[in-house]
Structure 1
């Protein structure tokens, strides 16, 4: 992929002309010649001034996800996305629950996505913001080179390390007191413990550790830092005090100097560095563009959807399913199923995630060789006729079932392809409803749901969400919510203002009473209970 990307070198974006009032006499004389339209230098300057006047100002947002890196260019005046670029990622996955990516793939994809968005056009890039998939562990050596592939948010190989650390710290209740979050396999803390136990040589070569979005910011600016939103998903961060939790870090490794190993914490709405010349040349941009603190993909999606006030909740239908809402105060679920995250504006973002969302719906679509229109038609044709599906194909996080598997229950000879498809989509949606209930325990009282993510494009699925959640569902007219939010955060950081430009709702879906869904909800609750008791 890298060789292909290097052959695509569009014209570099031109930085705005900065005229210094203290300019030399030579500079002033050149502009006198320009005004008089005299000589080659004057004509060249006139062309440059014309080009600068024609450039559109934009803020660049990045979303480094699991499947791809997305880049958007956002108009600061209208909030419209004026260009989009994408580049795919590879994924290392094994039957034992391993899910990993080489950080070099993210850099290659960033190059490709930026060039796909710019396409040789001229933009006055006002700033860059980076969103990244949360929880991934990036281990760096003394030269800030990755020691090994990054273990990702959906890697479930660390269940034993979670149990060991929890026991060492005094149990779940004590862990919640220390950090606001339980130790779950997807989080970063058990990944470090896993590395120390399973790959001691790689652990010994590791000098610094960070998250995916931190690594991209390091590559862009040379600055090693993070912010509270993404850091709160590590399980070694105190979300109430917004600082690293020394007790958890000591339980992982009491001999390591964590002040040197972890990135410094930057304010959320701040410029943290400038685009390095080497990175700029690689991306086809101008050096010196301001880079904001960025954040986790969910935190930036909240900014992109204008979920920076209390009231609505967001549900994202992506590879994973996520449910989150803004809170002005820390919000801790007493059961620990909803994560007590910080947001990337200075507030808090209670969030519950499911490991199986479009990953499950795409699995069944590919199984039957269907296109998306056929899946939508199957979903719209009615309920699952008594068939239920527990969608734990990759284990599960909410509820915490890392070793669970997917299960169909109630299969009859009369069940055909469409019923199976509906059962899968219903199972995923009921899992998101369970996650929404976890947010309610944390004090969130959603008035409506903002539906985002790739799956939200389906009208049939959006209506099913409204019916299952028993809440109005609004689908915003927004392109790439996380990348758009990262661009918006960059604008706020550079301009030090927070203009309210909420995305326009493209369609609303009102809940409808359905007896078949109430019966299906009861079946799903029984299945979850059986999975928790290891009876499936």
Structure 2
């Protein structure tokens, strides 16, 4: 039995076939679709028709690789990068190119939303998140202000994943996970924010799609596509979900209290909660996970950058770097590395730079510098974890996407005060979309195999990698975190960070 996943990225469409029996990828394909060129600075748009062509090509390539096994495909899931907007008229024709979540042309409109609803705190109270230029809310306001003729023709607005789902099935709708990415959806209330829609324009409320249940299919694949792709009639299409929610699901996190540390270049700390936990400081993005529960995500920009800067500077291999940080003492003999080389989102320091503090004639050694950079990253996660606890999360363990090595894992366990373990089978948002298709299919068949069971089956925890926090070092790093945050606040207030 196979489940197809489709992911619409900013410049590429990917498709995969998940073999549930082996819990592995049976086939994979990718097709590029570059953004529209020649646009003003800050604009990021693409013709939605390009998506349709790339989805068709990617799916055909996956099915070709499956060969005779294509007959075992029973469901399809779709995800896309968060944000963005597709606008259709009354005849379901695309009115204009789709705006992407990376589009910044509606920055002024995001500021207008903030002013209207009481600034960042007011908007967060209303929908759960701060205003965002890449959101559908800001982009609809931009459309009204800059392209009134297109706005007047608009009958339907969809996220990219809902647009693809509509094309696959002919059925309109949006899951809570998808709707939560629009800036028009009250995440705490799990419903469209009619107050904001009405303020943008009284017509907006009628443009928004109907809600789709997390466990029910959007519909069946259209007969024309079934025939074109050589699939059996009756293939189900899942409701769809945002990329952040899909990636969280693909890390195996589906139960409240499960926390995932993404150790990639654009890393994050994300946690599932029974109800959405809103961060009124605006550092955490709140959304709805694959099942409709809440999740809060703290973005971290420098997880890879800071350690890699030191490693490359000394020309060490990864194993040599691991040896250096393992042999250096905890606290790096007083050397502290603020790892904000690319600015930072949590804490909110978009223009910050890195800093090294506490240098003496004796402690400025290569090993201590490596240790300080790694501890700086661990303390970034610790700060984000403290913020999650502040807003009500009761974490149970920390799952690591990508293996940081034994020393890095121990540092994260001690700094965050949680057991850490790596997970196997992680495949990002694309895998999460295929996993959603599997869960929805089994629910439709009346089988007791929910989202958490699918997550546990496809993504398994590596128990051999589990590391328990050491109480003594945990207290040490709690004190070090307090020192770091005092330094950050002092430097930032003085204009030096």
* TM-score, structure 1 normalization: 0.72
Deviation, 1:480, is 1.1
1:486-512 deviations in Å (ceiling 9; x for gaps): 333323322323422513222324446
SS of the residue aligned with 2:67? Answer: coil
Q: For the Cα contact (< 8 Å) 2:19–2:26, is it kept in 1?
A: no
1:329-365 deviations in Å (ceiling 9; x for gaps): 343334343334222213222x123263578579969
Q: Which residue of 1 aligns with 2:398?
A: 449
CA distance 1:59–1:164, change in 2 (3 Å): same
Deviation, 1:390, is 1.0
Q: Which residue of 1 aligns with 2:340?
A: 390
Within the alignment, does 1:342 sit opposite 2:303 as a pair?
no
Q: Which residue of 2 aligns with 1:87?
A: 30
SS of the residue aligned with 2:339? Answer: strand
1:443-493 deviations in Å (ceiling 9; x for gaps): 1111211123xx457666555533442322221212414333333332332
Unaligned runs of 5+ in 2: none
Q: For the Cα contact (< 8 Å) 2:81–2:243, is it kept in 1?
A: yes
Distance 1:366 1:290 in 2: 48
1:5-33 deviations in Å (ceiling 9; x for gaps): xxxxxxxxxxxxxxxxxxxxxxxxxxxxx
Aligned pairs (5 A) from 1:47-446 = 57-65=1-9, 68-76=12-20, 78=21, 80-87=23-30, 89=32, 103-104=48-49, 106-111=51-56, 113-118=58-63, 119-123=65-69, 124-141=72-89, 143-145=92-94, 147-152=96-101, 154-155=102-103, 158-197=106-145, 203=151, 206-251=154-199, 253-255=200-202, 257-280=203-226, 285-286=231-232, 288-318=234-264, 320-349=266-295, 351-354=296-299, 356=301, 360=305, 374=317, 377-378=320-321, 381-382=324-325, 386-393=336-343, 397-400=345-348, 404-410=350-356, 430-446=379-395
Distance 1:425 1:98 in 2: 36
Q: For the Cα contact (< 8 Å) 2:252–2:460, is it kept in 1?
A: no
Q: For the Cα contact (< 8 Å) 1:273–1:292, is it kept in 2?
A: yes
Q: For the Cα contact (< 8 Å) 2:257–2:394, is it kept in 1?
A: yes
SS of the residue aligned with 2:354? Answer: strand
CA distance 1:149–1:272, change in 2 (3 Å): closer
CA distance 1:198–1:258, change in 2 (3 Å): closer
Deviation, 1:313, is 1.1
CA distance 1:478–1:529, change in 2 (3 Å): farther
Residue from 422, 439, 442 that aligns with 1:475:
422
Distance 2:493 2:84 in 1: 26
Distance 1:221 1:529 in 2: 55
CA distance 1:410–1:390, change in 2 (3 Å): same
1:32-82 deviations in Å (ceiling 9; x for gaps): xxxxxxxxxxxxxxxxxxxxxxxxx22223333457544443344x46124
Higher-Rg member (1/2): 1
Once superposed, what is the RMSD of the aligned Cα atoms? Answer: 4.2
SS of the residue aligned with 1:271? Answer: coil
Distance 1:443 1:518 in 2: 22
Could you tell which deviates more after superposition, 209-218 or 499-508? 499-508
Q: For the Cα contact (< 8 Å) 2:215–2:440, is it kept in 1?
A: yes
Residue from 498, 505, 508 that aligns with 2:466:
508
Q: Which residue of 2 aligns with 1:31?
A: none
Could you tell which deviates more after superposition, 104-113 or 333-342? 104-113
Q: For the Cα contact (< 8 Å) 2:187–2:276, is it kept in 1?
A: yes
SS of the residue aligned with 1:354? Answer: strand
* TM-score, structure 2 normalization: 0.77
CA distance 1:355–1:99, change in 2 (3 Å): farther
Q: Which residue of 2 aligns with 1:44?
A: none
Distance 1:196 1:380 in 2: 58
Q: Which residue of 2 aligns with 1:488?
A: 435
Q: How many residues align?
A: 467
Could you tell which deviates more after superposition, 127-136 or 485-494? 485-494
Unaligned runs of 5+ in 1: 1-56
Distance 1:148 1:421 in 2: 47
SS of the residue aligned with 1:121? Answer: helix
SS of the residue aligned with 1:407? Answer: coil
Residue from 485, 488, 495 that aligns with 1:527:
488
